[in-house]
């Protein structure tokens, strides 16, 4: 590194911690900031899956019809805070506008480079460090009540096959032989091979933050309140602990990136999907591999002796507390599909998935401010975090990544 820079990374989720580590390894002076702590938000509460298969966006053709059906059904996995609807409307219009085959195909093409080598990217980030013990290799199944429901998902499976994912079907009583945790109302498993998962997302992020300091970077708990620009370029970050000078900054604060973008004079179309999980302590049964409960729309991941079930989508305000209905529905779905399932205690969690209308993150420089964006990953933040961090570190270090970055243009929703 011939020109090391002083760089502040704002937000210590998986994207921020990964960016900070790769920047430090490139020789930069790196300070990582977060108001709550490493992985305190969506990076803590996610399903823990390295979702290389998560190439199919939510807003595929027909999403409007499906969404309306879900909203009219109190037992569906989609919830809406109607008081927030007027604020959500501009984002929702753009979201629905992308619900066509051409835009879906473009989104998939944009997601493939971020997701397809996720396990290897996590291994590269952690190799030889205290954090590598949290990464596990596994297969991933999609659980359906019937073969017909699997075949009804043909559009999504066609996109996955096109991206190189093969699927093996297990049917009938063989389903319970493969996954004894499942009741016999699940009669079809679609199995994809060679994936991975994180054994404890919270501990993983804590260890990654420690890896940064082990390698000479700095982590500090502080709330970022403003960004100072001189002649259009960043000179300092203003926090509740004072002003911190820097040459560049990286904005990886998830949904909390939105008000900081406003500080830069940029209005970005970013909304939160309020995601929920139940974490069952000392579960009586654990799956042999993680799986997606397609019929119930939630992910299932064994974490040591515990089991995490994460899913549900609620569109609404980031200022309101968790709703009770998603937790009730998730508990009901667990009881419906799991055999004789008991546990010692259960943790309820709700957090915010930062989502763009085209289901692609913002990665790259915001204008010519020397502030880089790395947020908006929706359901794939944990999966794509290390690759996003590596891309940002390469861009800052003057190394052009060997992929087309136009799909992630950080200025595509900007309105000044």
Give strand pairing partners of 298. 293, 311
Quote the domain boundaries for residue 343.
6-408
Reduce the DSSP state of residue 259 to 3 states and report it.
Answer: helix
Per-residue pLDDT at 313: 87
Contact status, residue 391 vs residue 370, Cβ threshold 8 Å: no
CATH of the domain at 178: 3.50.50.60
Tokens of 295: 């019929």
pLDDT in tens, 312-344: 889 999 999 999 999 999 999 999 999 999 999
Per-residue pLDDT at 415: 55
Quote the pTM value.
Answer: 0.95
Tokens of 381: 């933040």
pLDDT in tens, 114-168: 999 999 999 999 999 999 999 999 999 999 999 999 999 999 999 999 999 999 9
Per-residue pLDDT at 416: 41
pLDDT tens string, the chain, 416 residues long: the values are: 458 999 999 999 999 999 999 999 999 999 999 999 898 888 899 999 999 999 999 898 887 777 666 666 667 778 889 999 999 999 999 999 999 999 999 999 999 999 999 999 999 999 999 999 999 999 999 999 999 999 999 999 999 999 999 999 999 999 999 999 999 999 999 999 999 999 999 999 999 999 999 999 999 999 999 999 999 999 999 999 999 999 999 999 999 999 999 888 888 999 999 999 999 999 999 999 999 999 788 999 999 999 999 988 899 999 999 999 999 999 999 999 999 999 999 999 999 999 999 999 999 999 999 999 999 999 999 999 999 999 999 999 999 888 999 999 999 987 54
What sign does the CA torsion over 42, 46, 51, 57 have? negative
Per-residue pLDDT at 350: 95
Q: How many alpha carbons lie under 13 Å from residue 385 in its C-beta half-sphere? A: 34
DSSP string, 299-313: EEEEETTEEEEEEEE
1 is a domain residue = no
Number of structural domains the chain divides into: 1
Q: How many alpha carbons lie under 13 Å from residue 263 in its C-beta half-sphere? A: 19
Tokens of 239: 């926090």
326 is a domain residue = yes
Question: In what side-by-side order are the strands of the sheet with 29-34?
Answer: 218-221, 29-34, 6-10, 248-251, 371-375, 362-365
413 is a domain residue = no
Mean pLDDT, the chain, integer: 93
Alpha carbon 250 to chain centroid, angstroms: 18
- Listed in sequence order, the residues at least 6 apart from 137 whose beta carbon sits closer than 8 Å to its beta carbon are 119, 194, 195, 196
416 is a domain residue = no
CA distance 223 to 11: 9
- Listed in sequence order, the residues at least 6 apart from 204 whose beta carbon sits closer than 8 Å to its beta carbon are 39, 131, 134, 135, 198
DSSP string, 184-241: TT--EEEEEEEEEEES-HHHHHHHHHHHHHHTT-EEEE--EEEEEEETTEEEEEEETT
The tokens 């891309």 sit on which residue?
A: 391
Give strand pairing partners of 32. 9, 219
323 is a domain residue = yes
Q: Which is nearest to 383 in space by CA: 19, 13, 14, 34?
A: 14
Tokens of 132: 């590598």
415 is a domain residue = no
């Amino acid at each position: 590194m011939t020109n090391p820079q002083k760089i502040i990374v704002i937000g210590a989720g998986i994207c921020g911690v990964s960016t900070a580590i790769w920047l430090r390894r490139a020789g930069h002076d790196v300070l990582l900031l977060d108001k709550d702590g490493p992985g305190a938000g969506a990076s803590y509460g996610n399903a823990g899956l390295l979702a290389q298969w998560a190439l199919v966006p939510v807003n595929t053709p027909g999403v409007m019809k499906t969404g309306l059906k879900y909203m009219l059904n109190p037992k569906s996995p989609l919830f809406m805070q109607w008081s927030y609807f007027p604020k959500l409307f501009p984002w929702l219009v753009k979201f629905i506008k992308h619900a066509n085959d051409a835009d879906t195909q473009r989104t998939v093409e944009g997601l493939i480079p971020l997701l397809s080598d996720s396990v290897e990217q996590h291994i590269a980030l952690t190799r030889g460090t205290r954090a590598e013990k949290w990464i596990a290799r596994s297969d991933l199944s999609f659980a359906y009540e019937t073969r017909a429901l699997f075949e009804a998902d043909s559009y999504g499976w066609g996109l996955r096959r096109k991206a190189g994912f093969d699927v093996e079907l297990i049917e009938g009583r063989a389903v319970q032989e493969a996954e004894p945790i499942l009741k016999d109302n699940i009669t079809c498993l679609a199995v994809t091979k060679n994936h991975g998962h994180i054994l404890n997302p919270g501990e993983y992020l804590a260890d990654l933050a420690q890896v940064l300091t082990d390698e000479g970077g700095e982590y500090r708990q502080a709330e970022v309140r403003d960004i100072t620009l001189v002649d259009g370029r960043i000179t300092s970050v203003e926090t509740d602990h004072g002003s911190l000078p820097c040459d560049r900054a990286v904005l990886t604060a998830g949904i909390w990136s939105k008000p900081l973008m406003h500080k830069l004079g940029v209005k970005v179309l970013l909304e939160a999907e309020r995601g929920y999980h139940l974490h069952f302590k000392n579960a009586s049964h654990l799956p042999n591999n993680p799986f997606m409960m397609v019929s119930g729309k939630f992910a299932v991941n064994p974490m040591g002796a515990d089991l995490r079930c994460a899913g549900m989508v609620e569109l609404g305000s980031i200022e309101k507390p968790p709703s009770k209905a998603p937790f009730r529905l998730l508990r009901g779905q667990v009881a419906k599909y799991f055999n004789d399932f008991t546990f010692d205690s259960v943790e309820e969690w709700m957090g915010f998935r930062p989502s763009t209308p085209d289901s692609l993150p913002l990665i790259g420089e915001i204008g010519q401010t020397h502030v880089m964006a790395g947020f908006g990953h929706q359901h794939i933040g944990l999966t794509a975090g290390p690759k996003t961090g590596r891309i940002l570190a390469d861009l800052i270090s003057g190394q052009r990544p060997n992929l087309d970055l136009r799909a992630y243009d950080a200025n595509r929703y900007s309105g000044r």
